Amino acid sequence: MGQCGITSSKTVLVFLNLIFWAAAGILCYVGAYVFITYDDYDHFFEDVYTLIPAVIIIAVGTLLFIIGLIGCCATIRESRCGLATFVMILLLVFITEVVVVVLGYIYRAKVEDEVDHSIRKVYNRYNGTNPDAASRAIDYVQRQLRCCGIHNYSDWENTIWFKQTKNNSVPLSCCKAALSNCTGSLTRPMDLYSEGCEALVVKKLQEIMMYVIWAALAFAAIQLLGMLCACIVLCRRSRDPAYELLIAGGTYA
């Protein structure tokens, strides 16, 4: 019964190392997605430290490639030193992912305050020209999230751009996508998106942070299982060095 358990642990450990390689790619993808999305919304989110969880999760993903290699070699060769190293590295990565989850929750809670603090300044910098970064950011967000203004389209009346143009119109990015003849005129509010952008930007950024949190939690659980299996193999090996090797030619080193 004990022999069956140890063989099962070793088999699961090999399988988990293969999962680590897949996990590494997924974690790097999640981190890259956060960076790319943040670039679209960075004008509304001034605190660059919110990218720390994404940086950490990319670093963890890269490290998982190495961990998977070490784990496979150590498990197949059944090296005590290799397995001990594997467990220690997994423990460090596990702690790092717990830190990512904590930071993710902290920054997720700060999103609303950050956006509320910066969004009015961004709208006041709008000048309607494509080369201008703030203008491109606002037009992108209004089209992408289908919103207009901070709380609604009437917020545009308080912006510098609106007062300078004097045409009683909002940017064309406020126009509903289905309408081809929309001019942005406030005399036809039914042509404009009625929902404000602030709440939608907050929701989008919080969703992005949740991707990081859930990815870190999922792979932390997998690593916990990996550490458990490796510890079972190590403990069994310490008591009985003659247990069945996973493959012929394994070493007891």
Give DSSP secondary structure letters for 35-99.
Answer: HHHHHHHGGG---GGGGHHHHHHHHHHHHHHHHHHHHHHHHHHT-HHHHHHHHHHHHHHHHHHHH
CA distance 153 to 47: 27
Residue 240 in this model has a pLDDT that exceeds 70:
no
Residue 142 in this model has a pLDDT that exceeds 80:
yes
Condensed to tens digits (0 to 9), the pLDDT of residues 36-85 reads 777 667 667 665 566 777 777 788 777 777 777 777 776 666 667 777 77
| CA distances to 48, 136, 190, 206 from 139, in Å | 22, 5, 19, 21
User: 3-state DSSP call for residue 127?
Assistant: coil
Residue 248 in this model has a pLDDT that exceeds 50:
no
Share of the chain above pLDDT 90, in %: 13
Quick check: 197 and 122 in contact, CB under 8 A? no
pLDDT of residue 149: 92
Report residue 179 as tokens. 């309408």
Quick check: 44 and 137 in contact, CB under 8 A? yes
Minimum mean pLDDT range among 129-143, 154-168, 197-211, 220-234: 220-234
User: 3-state DSSP call for residue 170?
Assistant: coil
Condensed to tens digits (0 to 9), the pLDDT of residues 73-106 reads 766 666 677 777 777 888 887 888 888 888 888 8
Q: Exposed, middle or buried, 216 (CB in 10 Å: 0-12/13-18/19+)?
A: buried
Quick check: 197 and 148 in contact, CB under 8 A? yes
pLDDT of residue 151: 93
pLDDT of residue 175: 93
pTM for the model:
0.70
pLDDT of residue 193: 94
